[in-house]
Structure 1
Amino acid sequence: MSTHRNNFRWELFDQLPVVGILRNVSIEEAAMILPVYIEAGFTTIEVPINSENSAELIRRLVLDFGGTLNIGAGSVIDLPDLQQALDAGAGFIVTPVIDEEVISHCVNEDIPIFPGAFSPTEVAKAWKLGAAMVKVFPAGGAGVDYIKALKEPLKGIKLLPTGGVSINNAKDYFLAGAQGLGVSTGLFKSELIRNKEWGKLREHFVSFHRVIQNRGT
């Protein structure tokens, strides 16, 4: 299996520990969205491998923004998905489930992997297999209190709640002990994208960034 070309940089991620999930946008829309995303201070983007034009979009993003952003692939559920993601140049991998083959390949190749898990048993297993962070998914239904409850017995495990995260609860997730967040529609407002309101989208990104920056207060 081919190795990655677009290296993940933790120092970039740590500046703003948010994985923005960019689903079903055209290459033309991405070319408008990403500059304002970067300008607002965001550093990491995930393209779900099962979304429209995903491989082509990842390739283009790596080409145009690879020096400024961490660019990875999400919704990877098996080795063929992983192959497609790495061939496109993904620098990190996010999964909705624990697939031991996918995790072990990424660990062996030194590619950060954020596997999806939900129960305490799954979260602990994903971490032991070598997860860089464990994506708690779907976090929306369980909410902030569930993250707080998970952190009590699993203090050393880095959690990345994903699903249902918005500007209104992002800070609460960090206060509950999350080390990062995966955010999809809470960041990329489909209405603003559809109407090409890039200025309003930028304002939303800036507001979201401000909430994250003030997460410790």
Structure 2
Amino acid sequence: MSKPFSWKRFNEIPIVGILRKLPASKLDKVVKLYQQSGLTTLEITMNTDGADEMIRQISEAFPNLNIGAGTVCNESDLQKALNAGASFVVTPILDERIIHACNEANVPIFPGAFTPSEIYKAWSAGAQMVKLFPAGLLGPKYIKDVLAPLDQIKLIPVGGVDLQNFTDFLDAGASGLGLGSQLFLKDAIQNNEWKTLEKHFMAFVDKYRMYIQKKT
């Protein structure tokens, strides 16, 4: 059974960390550092070996985190994710059947879209946010241009977002950010360099907090 998605926690720092193909032996340590740094929302991609068990494990071990499922491309993966307790769902593509199924289950869904027509279609079908993917191809200006006529839509860019540019995406109107390899440093994880990884997580948190302070 999924625990409710906390928008309050998400809005504290609207970054979704994307864990893809992480070895199960590293999971607990990485997630513990992630939570300690102040990050609040995390997805496990369904093309990770044992993804559903990972979702179940960390949902139980870290109840104060939003734990979701990413790379959900079909209804079979969706059911596995929901059964494991995913509190939100992210897709790389637009599939209205998955959007409707998530709405019926009262689980937030962030479907992938790229063009203005796809983005509007995903939002109209019931998405709570629309994952703009791949965002790095056109950058923050594309988000600003899309949101000029579609300002009611919440966009979360994924792909090409990093420590240097993530506030540019927020300035352009993004409601959140999705980061995978730019957040979870592969070499640091492989070599158990946990201080390096924690420092990297904190760099995102500190930059976001400074960004918010300047805005207020």
The residue that corresponds to 1:197 in the other structure is 193
Counterpart selection for 1:123 from 119, 123, 126: 119
Aligned 8 A contact 1:26 1:53 in 2: no
The residue that corresponds to 2:81 in the other structure is 85
Structure 1 position 64, deviation (Å): 0.8
Structure 1 residues 171-190: aligned runs within 5 Å: 171-190=167-186
* Partner Cα separation in structure 1 for residue 120 and residue 164 of structure 2: 28
Structure 1 residues 10-29: aligned runs within 5 Å: 10-29=7-26
Alignment of 1:34 with 2:36, yes or no, is no
Counterpart selection for 2:99 from 100, 103, 122: 103
* Partner Cα separation in structure 2 for residue 28 and residue 215 of structure 1: 35
The residue that corresponds to 1:48 in the other structure is 45
Aligned 8 A contact 1:170 1:211 in 2: no
Aligned 8 A contact 1:174 1:215 in 2: no
Normalising by structure 2, we get a TM-score of 0.96
Structure 1 position 214, deviation (Å): 2.7
* Partner Cα separation in structure 1 for residue 26 and residue 178 of structure 2: 21
Alignment of 1:133 with 2:129, yes or no, is yes
- Aligned residue identity for 1:9: S
- Specify the SS of the correspondent of 1:215: helix
Aligned 8 A contact 2:21 2:47 in 1: no
Normalising by structure 1, we get a TM-score of 0.95
Aligned 8 A contact 2:21 2:48 in 1: yes
Q: CA RMSD in A?
A: 1.0
Counterpart selection for 1:213 from 184, 189, 209: 209
Structure 1 position 83, deviation (Å): 0.7
**Percent of pairs with identical residues:** 44
Deviations 1:119-158, CA, capped at 9 Å, x for gaps: 0000011111111100000111111111111111111100
User: For this pair of structures, how many residues does the alignment match?
Assistant: 213
Structure 2, unpaired ranges of 5+: none
* Partner Cα separation in structure 2 for residue 29 and residue 162 of structure 1: 24
Structure 1, unpaired ranges of 5+: none
Question: Runs of 4 or more off by more than 6 Å in structure 1?
Answer: none
